[in-house]
Amino acid sequence: MALSPSEVARLAALARIDLTEEELAELAPQLDVILDAVAEVSRVAGPDVVPMSHALPLTNVFRPDVVRPSLPVEAVLAGAPAAEDGRFRVPRVLDEEA
């Protein structure tokens, strides 16, 4: 499936990417190679092949959520430039209207 520079220009327009004529001519064969690779995978993958997102099975590894003692509030706020009511005081970032 050979892509023409005009087809690449149409794809670039859809993606809102400005490309020069030289870039279109250079990208057309590169995208053609990618499309051929995708087509090859599609030919190999039959109905018995389960779609997957990774080549190897992944398992999330989480540590147990255990409550542990932490620093006292006074010690944490001692290094803060400003504190108020047991919390860090920071400058307002958003307007009241936001």
SS3 of 28-42 = HHHHHHHHHHHHHHH
* CA 94 to chain centroid: 27
Domains, the chain, in order of start with CATH, read: 5-44 (1.10.20)
Please provide residue 87's backbone torsions phi and psi, each rounded to the nearest 5 degrees. Answer: -135, 160
**pTM (2 decimals)?**
0.46
Half-sphere exposure for 59 (CA within 13 Å, toward CB): 3
Does position 67 have pLDDT exceeding 80, yes or no?
yes
pLDDT at residue 17, as a whole number: 94
Of residues 95 and 28, more confidently modeled: 28
Tens of pLDDT, residue by residue over 17-59, are: 999 999 999 999 999 999 999 888 878 777 887 777 888 888 8
Query: What per-residue confidence (pLDDT) applies to 39?
Result: 87
Write the CB contacts of 51 (distance below 8 Å, at least 6 apart in sequence).
45
